[in-house]
Amino acid sequence: MGFCLEVTGDYACFTRPEMKVERVSYDVITPSAARAIFEAVLWKPAIEWHIHKIEVLKPIRWVSIRRNEVGAVLPVGNINKAMKGGALPALYVEDARQQRAGLFLKNVAYRLHGSFSLTKNAGDSDNVGKFVEMFKRRAKKGQCFNQPYLGCREFSCDFRLIEELENENSTIEESRALGWMLYDMDYQQSNNPMPLFFNAVMNNGVIDVPEKQSDEVRG
Amino acid sequence: MGLNNRYEFVLLFDVKDGNPNGDPDAGNLPRMDAETGMGLVTDVCLKRKVRNFVQMTQTDNANRKIFVREKAILNNMIDESHEQEGVKDKEKGDKTEAAKNWMCKNYYDVRTFGAVMSTGKNAGQVRGPIQMTFSRSIDPVVASEHTITRMAVTTSKEAEAQSGENRTMGRKFTVPYGLYRCHGFISAHLAKQTGFDEDDLELFWQSLMQMFDHDRSASRGEMSARGLYVFKHSNALGHAPATVLLDRVQVQRKEECDIARNFNDYQVEIDDSNLPEGIELIKLLG
């Protein structure tokens, strides 16, 4: 059972892994970010989302924004020490400051086509019909687990369930080879997730996303 | 613990003759959308102010400490024993979880906005319930540049070069007036995961309304919170799309006014008629 969500937002950043210090976004949403949007509406360990098609509804436009960020993380050892009565950990922004520019997308809209399948975690009481209805009900009413976002949490997005594709906005008339793009992370080894890539091509604003198991997706 | 309701909010704030958020890419000019001329204030800028407000006002509250601190307001705190970890601990599993929970319990900003904490190879991370977006001004803003002088110099070398004139010039930028609008989202589900509760939420609303009053500085000019409109859903999942609700708050420059220089030049209209079932609109300010 496939679903279609239209998502729109003022900004987006689907960070390229090779340029993540000063973030540069991919030209379009990645299947992995699209999956996270479906998951923000409904996800249980019993189901797994798959993205099949991404439709680009607005021209690809860019904006550069530089922000002060923190370039450090807290070692867990400091927390353990504090829990045993040691000094309280703190992170001083002034000491760990980094100014980072980001090249973000501006004014984006996509139609995302996805479906889910049951995983091996599905119990006896789980069935496809139940989750189909749950997803539809939530998406129609605008309900979500957390507000979905376009790559980074500051770029929250609106979403709308599309049930009839007629009378919807058409995709942009642009075809382009987008190059190798992140497909998703492979979490089979949970302590060492591995990235998967695919060669993305946009045909008149439409990107067909191959299946995860197919030869077109490479680790 | 946790929240039972989902929320969305609109925060309106304005600036008068000040720079609400400088752009490091543009020599500290007020941030602007180059295509539309609208002013911008980043999400992290406002979160910083919330943190500072909480740190300043909740010193006696043991479980409302702030993890990501700014030194400027820390002068009176002696806590300098920020240790660097030489050897990475290799504790995993339960210990990581316990550490995460402990951080959430003790630090207001960790349970509100989340934080990334490294645990050896993996980054243990907390996703907080509150998500804020960039604020945008209602109308295009103009940045005025002001050249200012100082009747002193920093080094004696400079003084010699000026043969004792001892004057330096500097620049500062202001926005004559700008009314900005910020959208925020609060996920009850994520609140349950971090233990963000009703009292924390109360403090968050308070900080949004009062944070500018405790962030006066030479560059900021006069900044004030002007409106805080909260849409409360009667359950955790929510009853209506966020946009539909946020669109009910419309802010417009009054027709008779060509150039806005005051909050009174704007009209805030709130459509609270026929709210979707299960939605309550709370006007906390304005």
- Residue A158's nearest CA partner among A211, A86, A109, A88 is A109
Give residue-wise pLDDT tens across range B28-86: 999 999 889 999 999 999 999 999 999 999 988 989 999 888 764 433 333 332 333 33
Q: Which residues of A touch B116 (CB under 8 A)?
A: 73-74
Residue of A nearest to B114 (CA): A153
Question: Which residue on chain A is closest to B119 by alpha carbon?
Answer: A76
**Amino acid symbol at A145:** F
pLDDT at site B34: 86
d(CA A210, CA B33): 36
Closest residue, chain B, to A102 (C-alpha):
B25
- The 10s digit of each residue's pLDDT in B261-270 is 999 999 999 9
Mutate to test the interface with B, among A23, A41, A43, A79 (most CBs of B within 10 A): A79
Mean pLDDT score of chain B: 88
The reply to whether residue B127 touches residue A158, judged by beta carbons under 8 angstroms, is no
Nearest residue to B238 via CA among A66, A178, A144: A144
> Which residue, A142, A182, A84, A177, is CA-closest to B99?
A84
Residue of B nearest to A193 (CA): B122
Q: Tell whether B79 is within 8 A of chain A (Cβ).
A: yes
Q: Chain A neighbours among B 31-60 (CB < 8 Å)? A: 31, 33-35, 40, 42-44, 48
Enumerate residues 182 to 211 of chain B having a beta carbon within 8 A of any beta carbon in chain A. 183, 185, 187, 189-190
Q: CB under 8 Å to B5, separation ≥6 — which residues? A: B188, B232, B233, B234, B235, B236
One-letter amino acid at A183 equals Y
Mean pLDDT computed over A208-213: 94
- CA distances for B89 relative to A73, A83, B105, B122, angstroms: 14, 15, 22, 12
- Model confidence band, residue A39 (pLDDT cutoffs 50, 70, 90): very high
Q: Which residues on A lie below 8 Å from B240 (Cβ)?
A: 141-142
Cβ atoms A104, A138 nearer than 8 A: no
Nearest to A147 among B69, B71, B131 (CB): B131
d(CA B94, CA A76): 12
The nearest alpha carbon in chain A to B192 belongs to A145
Question: What gap in Å lies between CA A217 and CA A211, rounded to an integer?
Answer: 7
Contact B183 A143 (CB under 8 A): no
User: Any idea what DSSP says for residue B181?
Assistant: E
DSSP E strand boundaries for chain A? 2-12, 47-56, 62-70, 74-75, 91-92, 97-118, 158-161, 176-186, 194-203, 206-208, 217-218
Mutate: best of B65, B84, B103, B247, partner A, most A CBs <10 A = B103
pLDDT of A27: 97
Distance from CA of B229 to the nearest CA of A (A): 18
The answer to whether A191 contacts B96, with C-beta atoms less than 8 Å apart, is no
Which residue in A83, A101, A158 is closest to B241 by CB distance? A158
Query: In the prediction, which pLDDT does B86 show?
Result: 31
Q: What is the pLDDT of residues A12-37, one digit of tens each?
A: 999 999 998 899 999 999 999 999 99
Residues 6+ apart with CB under 8 A from A178: A26, A27, A28, A200, A201, A202, A207
Cβ atoms of A174 and A191 closer than 8 Å = no
Please give the share of chain B, as a percent, with pLDDT higher than 70.
89
Q: Which of chain B's residues have a Cβ under 8 Å away from the Cβ of A85?
A: none
pLDDT digits (tens, 9 = 90+) for B175-195: 999 999 999 999 999 999 999
B123 vs A: CB within 8 A: yes
Amino acid at A140: K
Q: Please choose, from the candidates B44, B217, B73, the residue with its C-alpha nearest in 3D space to the C-alpha of residue A152.
A: B44
Q: Which is it for strands B68-69 and A91-92: parallel, antiparallel or unpaired? A: parallel
* Separation between Cα atoms, residue A216 and residue B42, nearest integer Å: 39
pLDDT of residue A55: 97
Query: Are A154 and B189 inside 8 Å of each other by CB?
Result: no
SS3 B231: strand
Residue B202 contacts by C-beta under 8 Å, 6 or more apart in sequence? Answer: none
- How confident is the model over A107-150, as pLDDT tens digits? 999 999 999 999 999 988 889 999 999 999 999 999 999 999 99
Q: Which residues of A167-193 are buried (b: 16+ CB within 10 A; e: fewer)?
A: eeeebbeeebeeeebbbbeeeeeeeee
pLDDT at B103: 87
Q: Residue B120 has what pLDDT?
A: 57
- Per-residue confidence (pLDDT) for residue B228, from 0 to 100: 98
> What's the rounded Cα separation, in Å, for the pair A36 and A151?
9
Minimum distance, in Å, between the CA of residue A68 and any CA atom of chain B:
8
A21 φ/ψ sector (left φ>0, alpha ψ -120 to 50, else beta)? alpha
Q: Residue A94, exposed/middle/buried by CB under 10 A (0-12, 13-18, 19+)?
A: exposed
Q: Chain B interface, mutation test: which of A61, A156, A187, A190, most B Cβ atoms within 10 Å?
A: A156
Q: Does the pLDDT at position B1 exceed 80?
A: no
Closest in A65, A87, A99 to B79, CB measured: A87
pLDDT at B121 over 60: no
pLDDT tens digits, A163-210: 999 889 999 999 999 999 999 999 888 778 899 999 999 999 999 999
Q: Which residue's structure tokens are 């007020």? A: B30
A–B CB contacts, 8 A cutoff, strictly below: 162
- Tell me which residue in A63, A68, A75 faces B118 most closely, judged by beta carbons: A75
- Map B87-120 to HEC letters: CCCCCCCHHHHHHHHHHHHHEHHHHHHEEEEEEC
**pLDDT of amino acid A174:** 95
**Of the candidate ranges A82-86, B72-76, B242-246, the one whose mean pLDDT is the lowest:** B72-76
